[in-house]
Amino acid sequence: MAKVILTHEVTGLGAAGDVVEVKNGYARNFLLPRNFALTWTKGGEKQVESIKAARAAREHASLEDAQKQAAALSAKPVKLVVKAGESGRLFGTVKQADVADAVEAAGLGTIDKRKVELPAHIKSVGSYQANVRLHADVAAVIQLDVVAGK
């Protein structure tokens, strides 16, 4: 088992600043290469405090603000225009940053791309759902309408 300090929120594991124990392979092959975690050291306790302070500054000011934004995100679908072929197959895939940019372009506020959870690789036009963690207690479901364009 490896002890790591999370630098980002990982669904099912913990929030940024948490010290957790995970299997060696999970830490080595997933968390560390994607910069979701740092290896735990005795000097790492100072990093935990700075990570928690940065997380608090990034989070919504209050639970009520997060709930208002979640209601706005769930109320109307977000149109995502992407480059696609004639058969509806995309050139590439839809990424978390694309969803965050589309939400901002739709006038629904700004969201952190790292908080967007896509269900699977989106590689064709159609309707999809994505989850967004706005606060520790608030998650929103966004209806994505992926359409061909550009």
* Phi, psi angle pair for 35, to nearest 5°: 60, 35
Mean pLDDT of 71-100: 89
Same domain, 47 and 104: no
Mean pLDDT of 69-95: 88
Q: How many domains does the chain have?
A: 2
Same domain, 53 and 98: no
Strands 138-149, 78-83: pairing kind = parallel
> What distance in Å separates the CA atoms of residue 102 and residue 68, rounded to the nearest whole number?
18
In DSSP terms, 148 is beta-bridged to: 82
Range of the domain at 9: 2-58
| Pair 5, 40: CB distance under 8 Å | yes
Query: What is the token pair recorded at 133?
Result: 């963690």
Domain of 43, CATH number, reads 3.40.5.10
Domain of 93, CATH number, reads 3.10.430.100
List of residues 6+ apart from 23 with CB closer than 8 A: 1, 2
Each residue's pLDDT tens digit, 49-65: 777 777 676 665 667 78
Task: Report, in angstroms and rounded to the nearest whole number, the Rg of the chain calculated over CA atoms.
Answer: 17
Same domain, 71 and 140: yes
Same domain, 69 and 136: yes
